[in-house]
Every structure is written in C-alpha cells, then in structure tokens.
C-alpha cells in the first residue's frame, strides 16, 4: 500500500466517524485541537500529518487507536 493510499484511508475514516457522530468540521476541529482548514485538508487527503495530530484527532473521537484502525 502506498503512502497516499494509507493517508486517503485515514482521511475517509476521520470523515466517516465525524459524520456518524453528526459533528461539523468546525466543531470537531475545536474538540481535537486542530485548525479547521487543516482538518478539512486532512479529510480530503491533501495534507500530510504527524502522529501527534493523528493522536489528537483519535482522542477527539474518544476512541482507541485499535478502534480507529479496525475498519481500515
């Protein structure tokens, strides 16, 4: 699997979880402690991000890494 494929799968997972919880990008960005436009770029697969950012996003959903990656 290429890096861009992994990034796109993570992006889709973030978007899926956010939609399941009926949370706007703006609200979730605030909950996760990231900039909204940065989150939007991540969800589109247009942005590289570090493990610290991914940790904030996963924590924002209140789930574990295992739960986040279960469907990827």
Predicted pLDDT of residue 35: 97
| pLDDT digits 0-9 by tens, 22-42 | 999 999 999 999 999 999 999
Element of type H or E holding 38: helix 36-43
Place of tokens 């494929």: 5
Q: Which of 17, 25, 22, 6 is nearest to 62 (CA)?
A: 17
User: Largest Cα–Cα distance of the chain, in whole Å?
Assistant: 32
User: What does DSSP assign to residue 34?
Assistant: S
pLDDT for 71 equals 80
The pLDDT value recorded for residue 9 is: 96
Contact yes or no for 46/8 (Cβ under 8 A): no
Name the pLDDT band for 19 (thresholds 50, 70, 90). very high
């Amino acid at each position: 699997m290429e890096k861009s494929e992994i990034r796109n799968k993570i992006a889709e997972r973030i978007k899926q979880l956010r939609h399941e919880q009926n949370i706007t990008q703006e609200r979730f960005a605030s909950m996760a402690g990231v900039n909204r436009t940065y989150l939007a770029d991540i969800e589109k697969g247009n942005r590289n991000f570090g493990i610290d950012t991914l940790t904030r996003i996963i924590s924002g959903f209140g789930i574990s890494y295992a739960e986040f990656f279960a469907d990827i």
